[in-house]
Structure 1
Amino acid sequence: MAKTQATAAGAWTDEEVLECVSILPESPNVVTVCFQAPSGRPFVFQAGQFITLELPVPGGPLYRTFTISSSPTRPKSLTITMKAQSTSIGVRWIIDNLRPGMTLKATGPAGRFTSAEYPAQKYLFISAGSGITPMMSMTTEIYDLGRHRDVVFVNCARRPSEIIFKRRLEHMATRVEGLDLKWVVQEPDPYSPWTGYQGTFNQLMLGLMAPDYLEREVFCCGPEGFMQSVREALAGLGFDMDHYHQESFHAPGTPGPELIEVELPDDDLPEDDVMAEIVFDISGVTQSCPETETVLAVARNAGIAIASGCTFGVCGTCKTKKLSGEVHMVHNGGITDEEIEEGYILACCSNPRGKVTLDL
C-alpha cells in the first residue's frame, strides 16, 4: 500500500490476494477484469490510482501495472481495463489464461495522478486509447457523488468501435449535467457514418471542444507522442502548465513496472525571457523579440506584410520560406512534411529560436 494512502480499518490491503470474479470484453483486444477480496473487504483508493499485478507466466512471475478503471465510490470490487498490443505478454496471458475464481497477488493501490490531488470545479480530461481508464475512474466518482462538476471529456481512438467505455459514458451524460463528451477518431468504421471529430487532436479541436480551456484543470493520459502533442498544443495557446497533469509508465530495475506522475518532460518550448532575432532578408529589416512571439506578429510589428487567414496553422496562407535558423512550430495541418523539409514555415504558429532569417 502506498505510504501516502491511509488504509481504512477493515479495508483490503495487498497482503491479501485478489480474486477474479468476471471478465468483460469491451472492444477489440480490450477487456475489463473485475476483482474482489476473498475476505469481502472493501477497496480504498483514489480515483486515477494504479495497481501492480504479479502474473504467473511461464519462466517466472511478471509484474504489470494497470490503472484502476472503477471508482472508489463502488468499493466492493475493483476493475482494471487493458488492451492487448502485438507485443503484449502480460495482457495476453490475462486474456488467454485468467478465469473467474483464480487469484493473483497484487501491490498497491498507489499513484498521484488523481483529481483528489487537484480539486477543481472545471476539468478537461484528454486521453487516447486505453489511456481512458483513469479518466473513467475519476468521471465515475464525480458522477456517483452527485455534486456538480464541469467536465469536458475528450478521447481519441482509431475508430468509433474502438472507443472504450463509450456507451457507459454516454449513459452517464444523459443522467447528469456537466459531462460533455468529445470523441475523436482517425477514420470511421466501414458502412457506419461518423458525425463527430475526425483526424488528429490539435489546437483547433481544443478551442472548439473547450473554449474555456484556460480555466480548467487538465489531465492527460495516452502514448508519449500523443501526450507531447497535447502539451505543445496547450503551451502554444498560453495555458498555465502548472494545471496540466499526465500519467506515464516507466520501468525501474525492481520489482517491476511502476506507474507514476512524472515531471513534465523538457519539450524545449519558447520562453518569455529568452530573446530571439528575425532577419527579413529581402526587406533588410532585423527585429528582436521574445521567443514567445510568433513570426507573424513580429513581421506585422516591423511593418512587413505577410498574408494570413486563420492564424491557427490550418489554412496555410502565411506559408513563408525560412533561409536559416530554427523555429518552434505547432501547426494544425496547414503545411506538409515535404514543405517543412524544404524550409517552409507557417508564420502564424512559428516561434523563432535564436537568429532566424526569412525570405521576406
Structure 2
Amino acid sequence: MDATSPAPAATGFYAWNPEEDDVLICRAVREEAEDVKSFIFAPRSQRRFAYQPGQFLTFEFEIGGEPVHRCYTISSAPSRPDTVSITVKRVPGGPVSNWLHDHFRPGQMLKAAGPMGDFSWSRHPSRTGRYLLISGGSGVTPMMSMARTAYDLAEIRDTIFLHAARSPRDIVFADEIAMMARRNRSIRAAHIVEADSPLQAWHGFRGRISRASIEAVAPDFLTREIFVCGPSPFMAAVRAILKEAGFDMARHHEESFNFDELAPREQAEVEEAAASLESEVKTWRIEFAKTKRVVECPETMTILEAARRAGMRLPSSCSKGLCGTCKSRKLSGEVEMRHQGGIRQREVDAGMMLICCSRPRSDVTVER
C-alpha cells in the first residue's frame, strides 16, 4: 500500500493524505536523552499513517510570524499507524529545534507533507538478508524506524545496529534499543562513545567510528547492506572506511540532514512539498445535527467523503449526484454542489442538497 492509498473501508480507517488535510495535532512530547525530545502527532480526522521505515516528512513551522520549512525523519514505525513521531535534538542557535523544545506542546497543530525519501531497507533489500545500521547523534531516527518495524513484526532480519554518541547520556533510545535486542535475537546493538558522562563511566567501545570498531561489531560487514545516517563528517568518515575496505558501495545507503546533500529527486520532493504547504486549502467544520457528530472537511472534498473518512455511515449509492440517495437538508452554511440531476431546483431552494457532490464553502450544519 502506498502512502496515499486508503485502507480497506471495512476497517473504518483511511490513510492520512496531506493533499486533503495536511494538519497534524501533537499528542505527546517525550524526553529521550540530553536535549532530545520526541514529538508524537496524529491526524485531525480518523486516519492512519502509511510510509516506509526510514522516510521523512516536511513540516511547516510558523516562527516569529514567518513560515519555516524543515525535513524531519520519522522515528516511529509504520507497524503502529495511528500516530507518527519525529525526534529532535536541540541545536545551539537552531531556530526550529529550539522553538520546538521551548514552545511546542501537546494540543498544538502544524502542517506537514510527505512521506518522502528512498532511505529505507524496504527499497534496498539485502540479498544476503543481513543489514548494518550505522548512526551518529540524531541520525539514529531512521534506524529506529527500521528497527522498531522489524521488532514489531517479528521479522527475521539479521540486523546489527551500531550507534555513535559523544557520551553515555547522549545515547538516544538506549533502553529501547537494548530491549529490542534482548527480546529479538535477530537484532544486535552496540554503541561507541567518545567520553564518559559526569558520574557515568562507559565500559563499551570508545573513540570515534573506525574500521576496527565496525569489524568488532560486524566482522562480516562486507556482506551486509549498510545504511548510514548522521552529521556530514560522520557519514564521510564511514564512506571512506567502506571504500578503503573494498566494500561494494552499491550496497551503501546514506541519508543527510542537509538539504544541499540530498539526492536531486529528494530535493525536488522537498521543494514540491514546501510549495504545497504554503498553498492554503481551507478546512470547514461540518456538524451533523441529529447524531451530534462533527467532522473536518477541506474545501476540495465532498461532505460525504469527509464523513466516511471519519467513520460515519451515511446513505449513498452513486456518489455522482445522480441517484439522490444521499439527499439531506442543509440547516446552515454554504456549499458548492455539482450534481447530475439527482435533485430538483425546488428542493435546492428549500434547503436540500446532495452531500456526495457538495463541497463546503463555509461551516455547514446538516440535518442528519
Change (3 A) 1:157 1:142: same
Alpha-carbon shift at residue 259 of structure 1 (Å): 6.6
Instruction: Give the match for residue 61 of structure 1.
Output: 67
Q: How is 1:276-291 mapped onto 2 (pairs within 5 angstroms)?
A: none
Which residue pairs with 1:119 in the alignment?
Answer: 125
1:72 counterpart residue number: 78
Say if 1:5 and 1:110, in contact at 8 Å, map to a contact too.
no
CA offsets per residue over residues 101-156 of structure 1, 9 Å max, x none?
11111111111100100122110000100000000000011111112111110100
2:138, 2:172 within 8 Å by CA — same for their partners in 1? yes
Contact 1:31 1:81 in 2 (8 A): yes
For residues 208 and 259 of structure 1, the distance between their equivalents in structure 2, rounded to whole angstroms, comes to 36
Higher helix share: 2
Q: Give ranges in structure 2 of 5+ residues lacking alignment.
A: 8-13, 261-265, 270-368
- Correspondent of 1:219 among 213, 219, 227: 227
The equivalent of 2:90 in structure 1 is: 84
Query: 1:11 is aligned with what amino acid?
Result: A
2:139 maps to which of 115, 131, 137: 131
Shift of 1:7: 2.5
1:97 shift after superposition: 1.5
| Structure 1 counterpart of 2:102, one-letter code | D
Matching residue of 1:229: 237
- 1:200 lines up with 2:208 in the alignment: yes
- Percent of residue pairs identical: 40
* Aligned with residue 181 of structure 2, among 173, 177, 194: 173
- Asked if 1 retains the 8 angstrom alpha-carbon contact of 2:48 and 2:83, the reply is yes
Tell me the residue number matched to 1:265: none
- Does structure 1 retain, via aligned residues, the 8 Å contact 2:3–2:49? no
1:19 aligns with 2:25: yes
Structure 2 CA distance for partners of 1:152 and 1:260, relative to 1, 3 Å = farther
Q: Of 93, 96, 100, which aligns to 2:106?
A: 100
Displacement of 1:6:
4.6
Closer/same/farther in 2, CA of residues 134 and 213 from structure 1, 3 Å limit: same
Which of 41, 54, 59 pairs up with 1:35?
A: 41
User: In 2, Cα distance between the equivalents of 1:117 and 1:151?
Assistant: 16
| 2:4–2:16 contact (8 Å) kept in structure 1 | no
Aligned residues: 253
Structure 1 residues 55, 183: closer, same or farther in 2, change over 3 A? same
The answer to whether the 8 A contact 1:249-1:259 is kept is no
Which residues in structure 2 correspond to 1:37-52 (within 5 Å)?
37-52=43-58
**How far apart are the structure 2 equivalents of 1:251 and 1:158?**
24
Structure 1 residue runs of 4 or more that deviate by more than 3 Å after TM superposition: 249-252, 258-261
- C-alpha spacing 1:118/1:260, structure 2 compared with 1 (3 Å): farther
| Aligned 8 A contact 2:77 2:149 in 1 | yes
Note the 1:327-338 alignment, pairs <5 A.
none
Matched, 1:183 2:181: no
Q: Verify the 8 A CA contact 2:131 2:225 in the aligned structure 1.
A: yes
Q: Is the 8 A contact 1:113 1:260 kept in 2?
A: no
For 1:249, what is the secondary structure of its paired residue? coil
SS in 2 for 1:205: helix
Contact 1:69 1:79 survives alignment (8 Å): yes
Letter of the 1:57 partner, please give it. Answer: I
Q: Give the TM-score taking structure 1 as reference length.
A: 0.68
Partner of 1:92, secondary structure, is: helix
Greater shift in the superposed pair: 41-50 or 192-201: 192-201
Indicate whether 1:248 and 2:239 are aligned.
no
What is the alpha-carbon distance in structure 2 between the residues aligned to residue 148 and residue 80 of structure 1? 26
Task: Report Cα offsets for 1:81-118 as digits up to 9, x if no partner.
Answer: 01011121011111122111111111111111001001
- Deviation, structure 1 residue 183: 0.3
Secondary structure, in 3 states, of the residue corresponding to 1:116?
A: coil
Q: Which amino acid aligns with 2:93?
A: T
Counterpart CA distance in 2 for 1:209 and 1:250 is 28
Distance 1:112 1:260, change over 3 A: farther
Give the CA deviation at 1:59: 3.9
Q: 1:226, CA displacement in angstroms?
A: 0.6
Following superposition, the deviation at residue 209 of structure 1 comes to 0.9
Do the aligned partners of 2:231 and 2:257 also contact (CA within 8 Å) in 1? no
Q: Retained in 1: the 8 A contact 2:230–2:257?
A: no
Tell me what 1:351 maps to: none
With the length of structure 2 as denominator, give the TM-score of the two structures.
Answer: 0.66
Q: Distance in 2 between matches of 1:64 and 1:191?
A: 36
RMSD: 1.6
